[in-house]
Chains A and B, each alone.
Chain A
Amino acid sequence: MPVRAPLVAALVLGSSLALTPAPSSVAAPTTESATQLATPEVLTVPVGAEPDGTKVRLDVSVWPQASGRRPVVLLAHGFGGTKESVADEAAQLQERGYVVVAWSSRGHGQSGGRIHLNDPAYEIADARALLDLAAKRRDVELDGPGDPRAGVMGASYGGALGLMLAGIDRRVDGVVSAITWNDLADAFFPQAAVTRSATTAAGRHPIGVAGPFKQVWATNFFLSALRGVAGEENGAGAAATDRCGRFDPTVCRLFVQASETGKASPQLTALLRAHSPKPTMNAVHAPTFLVQGVADSLFGLDQADATASALAATGTPYAVRWSDGGHDAASTHEAEEVEASYTWLDHYVRDKAPRESALPTAAFTYGTPAGRPGQPTALHNLPAYPGLSGAPVETRELPLTTTGGSLLHPPGGQPASLIAVPGLAALGVSLSTYQVAALPGQSAALDSSPIAEAATVVGSPTMRFTVTSDTSDVTLFASVWRVTGGAVTLTNPLVAPARLTVTPGRPTPVTISLPAATYEMPAGTRWRVLLTSTESTYSNSREPSRIRIQDASALTLPVATGTEVGRVAVAGVDTETLIASALLALLLLLALAGWLVRRRRRRHLPSRPDLADVPLVVEGLVKTYSDGHRAVDDVTWRAEKGQVVGLLGPNGAGKTTTMRMVMGLISSDAGSVHVLGEPVTAGARVLARVGALIEGPGFLPHLTGRQNLEAYWAATGRRPEEAHFAEALDVAALGGAVDRPVKSYSHGMRQRLGIAQAMLGLPELLVLDEPTNGLDPPQIAAMRPILKRYAETGRTVVVSSHLLAEVEMTCTHVVVMHAGRVITQGLVADLVDSDDTTILDLGEHVDHDVVSAGVHALEATRGVTDVRVDTPTRLVVVAERGRAEVVAAAVEGGLPVVGVSSRRHLEEVFLGVISSASAPLDGAEPGDEGASLVERLRQVRAR
């Protein structure tokens, strides 16, 4: 779940807000549950008046504690923010058992007054007044009279305030100070030209000349304070006040002046230096936790380095944490940094740990870049800040292959190289590419030799070279790039600016401290130090110059090998993994449960021992398709051993549906199918005793006929010897074609192969749907004895066919279906042969009237129950009297009888039973009956 990055994003300027995923906050030991926590009290606190005598009241919120006396934390916001910016942290600290005081700083939010940029006489004095206020509260724990047990925490503007307050007021017992300055003059006029090599990781001892003006950041800083008053009604309306917004007029004037000239006036330098922790650092005795960002082109790591050095000099406990965030980007370890800050306060403020006690966090933590952008950095710990524990910083030399170059400073300072754009990194935009950074003629690239052994650089690399120029004022911007094959990438969007005063034409040696950061150095890559004469985020001189760089020394790299902090241990299992694993487990459980239920259900299907000797019993089968069509309706029949059963019926009678149900291909809505007493369901074992051809054969087209039979048999999993391939192939009678791919077969060949496949393994029940489909008459004739002989071996054959004559000749039994029902069934002989029926064949060209008269005469004869005109030359007479008497009566009636038979064709039986089933109330003329029935049956049965 994305949560708003708590510390940096809320405390610093609005530009670097970012959303980062963070693990749910670690449960802190609390004495009260969240519901009991009181809401903040809002106070207005009168503090020192402005220089012009205007009274100032601060807008303060206090998060109280309900019971007992508790330590207090002053929570300071960042520049341009208000007390609301830190409300989340305030609530978290309150939950941890602190009284929290947050206020809108002078000139911010609802507080009165003007911005003095952390003036000890104003902003710092205000904070002291708040300590006094805390000391008077009933819920605040006291170290002594008027001395509350107090911590101060803040980032950027608030971070500097914390350090300065601790330097001025000894009542402060612990400080957490993030991404802030040590010397504001140095931050706005940075100078990377140093007098000597650093003894600490990111240390920088600048020469006595102020660096170039950090124009873009200064303007951002300035504008962020103006934004606050943009919509505000200003009664005074003085033009000067408008332009300065809520800035103190002096601060404003000096800033505007610097922006115009690009140079630091002595007054401004003095003011900025005084508004910094630096002058009072040696008086700080409260244990201090410093968080400084690598992605910070405003207050670099050198600022925290200076603060840490000052703390080390006085023996004050401190810890330094290098974040991968800062004013340019959000940290990827936001939650851990906040947690470490709270731990620091808990240790030194709440638990009153002695100064000699072990630090609650690692003395130094830094991150190495992750493999991919957007990923958290890998954190490493060192037992001490490099260079401050007594031992010197571990360094390594990296020789350069290019040791010089020349470059121009363009007239007017334009176009300017684009390397570091403040705030852009927070948007995930890596704007700077080598093409816009290394403008032709305006840059010099100093390449190193390939790195032999991989290492991690932690701090500021330094190098020396000489500068020759035709002007006395030279400005250079150094940035560090990595060269891989053809690609040049910027390691960190930071520049180290150096402003030198030289004698024109004379080489001047200079030592440059490159941007402090953590750099990964994979073996095989090369480094490139890019020196440019301009940088777009700085105020560039308008005067043109020509600069030559010579005799560049090897790079001195501070390296470190810290203990990697286990990322998993810190982050735990993240929410996404948890959700996905839970879902996966749930699905697997569901699958397992479904499987178990099905297994149980399958066991409970009863078999019918009484039917064990009957190859096929179909009982009460019903099938209604999803469209409501009832294809099979209460169908019951059986096939005994040795029978050849014909399943007859017009199209749509339900024959194929019944066959599919018999084979378990479709499920029945009611009724049952038993093969040899075993119930048939989808894939039932007993189906191994059944061979079938249903609605045409199906083969793998790329295999030959023989391979298809073998593949089919392989799918049954049964012993190859049981297959009887030879007999089956004999039935197929494909000759040489058996070894050709099936896709080359004709319809009849496939049909024969299909029958052969059904006969594989010589099953006890052979079910053939339209087996003669596509066969020519000789093949049909050959089929007949095969099926008959097959049944004679004690096996059973079920054949469905439209060829009634064929069925009559092949089958012993028939089942006639119509409209989903069985309308008659029995022995073929019984159906076609009956004692009470006489067929009379009449001579050709017989007169219709004669026939009509004869039929009427026959009908009038006693004992004759029915006379039907089958065709114009054929009469079917049903009578209770002997056949001879019927013939005699017919002849008597004048009918020209030329033939007499007792046997009907199956076709007649079929049409007869269907006509009586579909039209029982038929009252049509006897002569028309046959014709209309055939016509009706010709129509496809409506669904």
Chain B
Amino acid sequence: MTAKTHVPRTPPSLELTQVRDPLSWRAELGRQWGRRRTAWAFGLLLALPLILVASFAFGERSDSSRGGTTTRIFDLAQSGAANFSLVLVFLASELLLVLLAALFCGDAVPSEASWASLRYLLIAPVQRARLLTSKLAIGVASTLLATVLLPAWGLLVGGLAYGWDPLTNPIGENLTWGQFLPRLALAMGYIFVTLLPIAAVAFWLGTRSDAPLAAVGGAVLVSIVLNILDQLDALDPYRNAFPGHYSRAWMDALAVSPDYTDMLHGALWALVWAVAFTMLAYRRFRRSDILS
């Protein structure tokens, strides 16, 4: 620190020029992009198909028709790009994408709190709601990017490794590329929507806690508990409303004659939960005292 620091002697001007909204999406993206967790998350996503290809190369292909449906799906994984990307989506949608959604949306606010930078954002000043909106927008956009990247990268890796054959599903039906790609896009769109409730729960927990781990872990825990409850037949008509109940309905979109009823239900319930927890998050954060 030097004593010769020059501060303009001009009287402070009363004009402040706002060229962008406080904490613009670009500014928020800049805050999240270089983070190690972002790099790890996308790195893992990109590594997964390569790991799969490597694993398949180790194991022998079994020609016997023993085993359940899952075995058959895996048998078909090496039959072409379309099947490979589908297996990849099947594997990732169960946990990896859920985890990423919880991470991207749940970690944004508490990580700022844990760095003590949250209070400086708020006095920058960024309005509470504006801060949440930017954080949520970038979190959701990151989730969307992951959801899009996964099958696209899977198609590319699968195509290079196993050729560019169109989809054959385990029942033996074939979809041409022209049919498959829009359906895959629809399925990924649906998966993205079903990720939103967990993202919203994580986001809400993030506004309640200063620990990023608590928010992300809490949301994943909620998802696991709901999955367990979803197994109970006793909860039958009511469990349909659970966020994870229709999580596998995206496969409906890839049948030869698709049935969108479950996907409609799943998407609607997902939106209900997502909106509810997002509202809770805003309500909580707008009123809370920032003591971090």
CA distance A789 to B2 in the complex (A): 13
The segment from A290-298, A699-707, A926-934 found at the interface with B is: A699-707
- Residues A524 and B115 in contact, CB atoms below 8 Å apart: no
* A803 at interface, CB cutoff 8 A: no
Residues of B within 8 A of A577 (CB): 264-265, 268
- Residues B261 and A580 in contact, CB atoms below 8 Å apart: no
The segment from A178-186, A299-307, A349-357, A586-594 found at the interface with B is: A586-594
Residue of B125, B131, B171, B258 most packed against chain A (CB within 10 A): B125
- Residues B272 and A583 in contact, CB atoms below 8 Å apart: yes
* A674 at interface, CB cutoff 8 A: no
B-side interface size class = 35 or more
- Residues B1 and A663 in contact, CB atoms below 8 Å apart: no
Give the contacting residue for B116; candidates A482, A488, A594, A698; CB below 8 A: A698
- Residues A779 and B1 in contact, CB atoms below 8 Å apart: yes
B interface residues, Cβ below 8 angstroms from A: 1-3, 5-12, 16-24, 26-28, 30-31, 34-36, 63-65, 72, 75-76, 79, 112, 115-128, 130-131, 168, 170-174, 236-237, 240-241, 251-252, 255-259, 261, 264-265, 268-269, 271-272, 275-276, 279, 283, 286-287, 289-291
- Residues A576 and B122 in contact, CB atoms below 8 Å apart: no
Top 3 A-B pairs, shortest CB-CB distance: A484-B172, A698-B116, A371-B255
| Closest Cβ neighbor of B111 among chain A residues | A700
**Least distance between A239 CB and chain B CB atoms (Å):** 44
> Please, what's the 1-or-0 string for A666-702, where 1 marks a CB less than 8 Å from any CB in chain B?
1100000000000000111101111010111111111
Residues of B within 8 A of A92 (CB): none
- Residues A683 and B127 in contact, CB atoms below 8 Å apart: yes
* A717 at interface, CB cutoff 8 A: yes
Which residues between 281 and 332 of chain A lie within 8 Å of chain B, taking CB atoms?
none
**Least distance between A335 CB and chain B CB atoms (Å):** 15
Residues of B within 8 A of A698 (CB): 112, 115-120
Residues of B within 8 A of A220 (CB): none
**Least distance between B131 CB and chain A CB atoms (Å):** 8
- Residues A786 and B8 in contact, CB atoms below 8 Å apart: no
The segment from A69-77, A199-207, A708-716 found at the interface with B is: A708-716
Give the contacting residue for A664; candidates B34, B122, B279; CB below 8 A: B122
Residue of A1, A487, A703 most packed against chain B (CB within 10 A): A487
CA distance A375 to B63 in the complex (A): 31
CA distance A483 to B172 in the complex (A): 8
| Closest Cβ neighbor of B10 among chain A residues | A793
Residues of A within 8 A of B130 (CB): 683
Residues A702 and B75 in contact in the complex (CB < 8 Å), given A665-B289, A795-B12: no
Residues A523 and B122 in contact in the complex (CB < 8 Å), given A682-B128, A711-B31, A717-B20: no
If A484-B171, A588-B275, A665-B123 are given as contacts, then 5 extra A-B residue pairs at C-beta distance below 8 Å, sorted by A number, are A371-B256, A525-B173, A684-B125, A695-B119, A715-B121
Residues of A within 8 A of B31 (CB): 700, 711, 715
**Least distance between B1 CB and chain A CB atoms (Å):** 4
* A762 at interface, CB cutoff 8 A: yes
Residues A752 and B1 in contact in the complex (CB < 8 Å), given A484-B172, A587-B276, A716-B124: yes
* A415 at interface, CB cutoff 8 A: no
The segment from A83-91, A254-262, A728-736, A859-867 found at the interface with B is: A728-736
Residues of A within 8 A of B257 (CB): 368, 370-371, 378
| Closest Cβ neighbor of A19 among chain B residues | B236
Give the contacting residue for B7; candidates A434, A689, A719, A793; CB below 8 A: A793
Residues of A within 8 A of B123 (CB): 663-665, 687, 690, 692, 694
* A608 at interface, CB cutoff 8 A: no
> Please, what's the 1-or-0 string for A587-617, where 1 marks a CB less than 8 Å from any CB in chain B?
1101100100010000000000000000000
Ordered by A's residue number, 17 sampled pairs between the chains whose C-beta atoms are within 8 Å are A372-B259, A523-B174, A524-B173, A525-B173, A594-B279, A667-B287, A683-B125, A688-B125, A694-B123, A698-B115, A712-B120, A715-B27, A715-B126, A757-B120, A762-B7, A783-B1, A793-B8
Residues A591 and B170 in contact in the complex (CB < 8 Å), given A371-B258, A727-B6: no
| Closest Cβ neighbor of A564 among chain B residues | B257
| Closest Cβ neighbor of A486 among chain B residues | B65
Residues of B within 8 A of A483 (CB): 172
* A660 at interface, CB cutoff 8 A: yes
CA distance A703 to B33 in the complex (A): 11
Residues of B within 8 A of A717 (CB): 18-24, 27
**Least distance between B280 CB and chain A CB atoms (Å):** 11
**Least distance between A590 CB and chain B CB atoms (Å):** 7
Residues A782 and B268 in contact in the complex (CB < 8 Å), given A667-B289, A698-B118: no
CA distance A732 to B3 in the complex (A): 11
Residues of B within 8 A of A690 (CB): 123
CA distance A106 to B289 in the complex (A): 79
Residues A682 and B122 in contact in the complex (CB < 8 Å), given A587-B276, A715-B23, A789-B7: yes
- Residues A487 and B172 in contact, CB atoms below 8 Å apart: yes
- Residues A487 and B291 in contact, CB atoms below 8 Å apart: no
CA distance A581 to B125 in the complex (A): 37
| Closest Cβ neighbor of A710 among chain B residues | B30
- Residues B18 and A718 in contact, CB atoms below 8 Å apart: yes
Residues A714 and B24 in contact in the complex (CB < 8 Å), given A779-B1, A783-B1: yes
Residues of B within 8 A of A702 (CB): 34-36
| Closest Cβ neighbor of B16 among chain A residues | A688
Residues of B within 8 A of A684 (CB): 125
CA distance A697 to B272 in the complex (A): 39
> Please, what's the 1-or-0 string for A841-857, where 1 marks a CB less than 8 Å from any CB in chain B?
00000000000000000
Residues of B within 8 A of A701 (CB): 115
- Residues B172 and A718 in contact, CB atoms below 8 Å apart: no
CA distance A687 to B26 in the complex (A): 22
> Please, what's the 1-or-0 string for A776-790, where 1 marks a CB less than 8 Å from any CB in chain B?
000100110110011
| Closest Cβ neighbor of A676 among chain B residues | B14
| Closest Cβ neighbor of B241 among chain A residues | A580
CA distance A602 to B10 in the complex (A): 33
- Residues A733 and B11 in contact, CB atoms below 8 Å apart: no
CA distance A783 to B5 in the complex (A): 10
| Closest Cβ neighbor of A523 among chain B residues | B174
* A2 at interface, CB cutoff 8 A: yes
| Closest Cβ neighbor of A666 among chain B residues | B289
- Residues B171 and A489 in contact, CB atoms below 8 Å apart: yes
**Least distance between A312 CB and chain B CB atoms (Å):** 31
Residues of A within 8 A of B291 (CB): 660, 666
**Least distance between A751 CB and chain B CB atoms (Å):** 10
Residues of B within 8 A of A34 (CB): none
**Least distance between B278 CB and chain A CB atoms (Å):** 8
- Residues A719 and B19 in contact, CB atoms below 8 Å apart: yes
Residue of B7, B131, B255 most packed against chain A (CB within 10 A): B7
CA distance A714 to B30 in the complex (A): 9
CA distance A732 to B2 in the complex (A): 9
Give the contacting residue for A486; candidates B72, B124, B240; CB below 8 A: B72
CA distance A787 to B166 in the complex (A): 71
CA distance A577 to B246 in the complex (A): 13
* A51 at interface, CB cutoff 8 A: no
Residues A722 and B275 in contact in the complex (CB < 8 Å), given A522-B173, A683-B128: no
**Least distance between A1 CB and chain B CB atoms (Å):** 7
Residues A580 and B269 in contact in the complex (CB < 8 Å), given A666-B289, A757-B120, A786-B1: yes
